[in-house]
């Protein structure tokens, strides 16, 4: 099946710093990628839809200035958590659609101290 690579898998940062998470489709091109957030023992919550070459579409309640998304190529989308605070600590997961199926990255555990 298609492979989606996400890194880093784990990041610890100080409050106030910014963190960038990368999501790559390794063997297919993805004009659309999705970013999810997941809290412990909860389901995945869609944050935004990343569109190659255009602005991302954010879900209601998601701050676009806090979670910057860039989709500059057909194989790479990045999520930058700006001025991170402890409440931003969470598991972030990206996905991309290939062959009519949605494939997910392995996730990034963000811990903000």
Contact positions toward another protein, by CB under 8 A? 1, 4, 6, 31-32, 34, 36, 43-46, 49, 91, 93-95, 97, 100-107, 109
Closest contact distance (angstroms) between CB of 66 and another protein is 20
Closest contact distance (angstroms) between CB of 112 and another protein is 17
Tell me the backbone φ, ψ of residue 88, rounded to 5 degrees.
-85, -10
Three-state SS for the chain is CCCEEEECCEEEECCCCCEEEEEEECCCCCCEEEEEEECCCCCEEEEEEEECCCCCEECCCCCCCCEEEEEEECCEEEEEECCCCHHHCEEEEEEEEECCEEEECCCEEEEEC
Closest contact distance (angstroms) between CB of 59 and another protein is 9
Closest contact distance (angstroms) between CB of 16 and another protein is 26
């Amino acid at each position: 099946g298609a492979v989606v690579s996400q890194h880093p898998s784990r990041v610890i940062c100080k409050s106030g710093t910014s963190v960038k998470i990368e999501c790559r489709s390794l063997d297919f091109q993805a004009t659309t990628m999705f970013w999810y957030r997941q809290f412990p023992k909860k389901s995945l919550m869609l944050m935004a839809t990343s569109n190659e070459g255009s602005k991302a579409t954010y879900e209601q309640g998601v701050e676009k200035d806090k979670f910057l998304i860039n989709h500059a190529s057909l194989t790479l989308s990045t999520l930058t958590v700006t001025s991170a605070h402890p409440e931003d600590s969470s598991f972030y997961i990206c996905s991309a659609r290939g062959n009519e199926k949605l494939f997910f990255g392995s996730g990034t555990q963000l811990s903000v101290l």
